[in-house]
Amino acid sequence: MDSAHVVGCGTIGSNLVLALCKIGEFSRLHIYDHDVVTYTDKPEFPFQEAVMGLPKVEALSVLIESLELNRKTSLFCHEVQVTQDIKDKGLVIDCRDRKDQAINADIRLSMDGPVLIVDSRAGCISVDDYNDYVIDKDPGYIELGIAIAANIICREMYTSRQYQVYDLRSVLYSAKTVNLDNDNGPTPSKDKT
């Protein structure tokens, strides 16, 4: 696949876009977000105070250009809120904090503190809402979570259509694949390390 669409350029989406540009996996990368960079006591990771108030897609584009990460990847910025399916071809990655409006995402990423959720099930609406984080954002967990997500994307492991929860607190992370097909609710399967 030569193009991808990253919907949501907050902490997860912006760091994922940086990682995908470094890797050069996609020749065309579309980024979508309607929001601006904000902060209270510190800027949103990876953004710096200098870009506060700029649209997230513009701030991310400036960061990618300053780091010279756009050599293999053409970046297309869309300052819009995505509330319906993306019509263009390519991998759709949903990194929005709120995923209550379903879009045609191939993979949905969510994170709270040391917990990374990778949901690649087809045709479902995520119940996870990370608009208000329970645990503070830690750059170490974010970098590890993004590395795992980028690996899943580059190796096309999202095609297995699973719901996986990663605990990033240990050096060797463990993933629990959750079986959602039974009537008794989610049940974890064997750990993968």
Q: What is the mean pLDDT of the chain?
A: 81
Strand order in the sheet with 28-32: 74-78, 28-32, 3-7, 91-94, 107-112, 115-119, 163-167, 174-179, 187-192
Per domain, the residue ranges of the chain are 3-192
Average pLDDT over residues 154-168: 88
Task: Label residue 27 by pLDDT band (50, 70, 90).
Answer: very high
Which of the four CATH numbers 3.20.10.10, 3.40.50.261, 3.40.50.720, 3.40.50.300 does domain 3-192 have?
3.40.50.720
d(CA 140, CA 85): 33
Average pLDDT over residues 114-128: 76
Pairing mode, strands 174-179 and 187-192: antiparallel
Give the pTM: 0.82
